[in-house]
């Protein structure tokens, strides 16, 4: 059984972009830890502004990273007026649609790394080896319930010290399948 984590819209910031948006002396402060080791939802929030709409109170996931990345759902992409670019979370995508990120101390315009994250599992390397799963391979995950579904093309993420077992879905996918916090799934094919 794989615990399911539902990922809401969020942003990962580079150190430089964090300073631009939050202020030169500001640092991300921990609101709560998330499932993956060392990561957390920060107390600080930003807004996303697209050609057609604005989304307020977007969570920042810390700590800071090498590059800034914005992760939204397909529904949120439509709200913003942008065409979704599907990618593996953490991968760097070159050209995407232009968005503004608005923080309390400044504004950034970004035109790369604005994505809808592909559904994926995080799995410890030892367990991945035991199950014969390869990093960046694909599996299918079955989730039971009133609206039982099999999610196909689930990307495997397996890196030492980084990945802890969980199946990551965005809020659009979880809502469509009626998945609630605490749900689990199982691997049904590789």
Distance CA 87, CA 81 (A): 18
pLDDT for position 57: 97
Angle CA 115–110–88, to nearest 5: 20
Residues of the chain with CATH 2.40.40: 120-189
Cβ 79 vs Cβ 55: under 8 Å: yes
Burial class of residue 161, CB neighbours in 10 A (0-12, 13-18, 19+): exposed
Whose structure tokens read 């150190």?
15
According to the CATH classification, is domain 120-189 in 3.40.50? Answer: no
Q: What is the mean predicted confidence (pLDDT) over 25-38? A: 91
**Average model confidence (pLDDT) across the chain:** 93
Say how many CA atoms lie within 13 Å of 146 toward its Cβ: 6
Burial class of residue 78, CB neighbours in 10 A (0-12, 13-18, 19+): middle
Per-residue pLDDT of 102-160, as tens digits, reads 999 999 999 888 999 999 999 999 999 999 999 999 999 999 989 999 999 999 999 88
For the cut 80, the answer to whether the pLDDT of residue 190 exceeds it is no
pLDDT for position 94: 67
Q: Cα dist. 62→2, 11, 154, 181, 189 in Å?
A: 24, 9, 24, 22, 33
pTM: 0.90
Q: What is the mean predicted confidence (pLDDT) over 28-44? A: 93
Distance CA 62, CA 3 (A): 22
Q: What is the mean predicted confidence (pLDDT) over 168-172? A: 95
């Amino acid at each position: 059984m794989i615990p399911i984590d539902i990922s809401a819209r969020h942003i990962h910031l580079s150190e430089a972009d964090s300073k631009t948006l939050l202020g030169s002396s500001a640092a991300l402060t921990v609101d709560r830890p998330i499932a993956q080791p060392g990561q957390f939802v920060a107390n600080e929030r930003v807004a996303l502004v697209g050609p057609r709409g604005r989304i307020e109170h977007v969570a920042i996931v810390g700590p800071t990273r090498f590059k800034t990345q914005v992760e939204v759902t397909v529904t949120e992409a439509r709200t913003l007026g942008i065409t979704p670019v599907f990618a593996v979370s953490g991968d760097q995508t070159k050209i995407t649609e232009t968005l503004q990120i608005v923080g309390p101390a400044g504004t950034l315009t970004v035109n790369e790394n604005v994505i809808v994250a592909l559904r994926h599992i995080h799995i410890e390397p030892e367990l991945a080896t035991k199950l014969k799963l390869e990093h960046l391979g694909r599996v299918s995950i079955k989730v039971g319930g009133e609206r039982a579904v099999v999610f196909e093309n689930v990307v495997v993420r397996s890196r030492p010290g980084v990945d802890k077992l969980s199946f990551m879905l965005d809020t659009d996918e979880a809502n469509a399948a009626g998945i609630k916090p605490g749900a689990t799934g199982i691997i049904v094919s590789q």
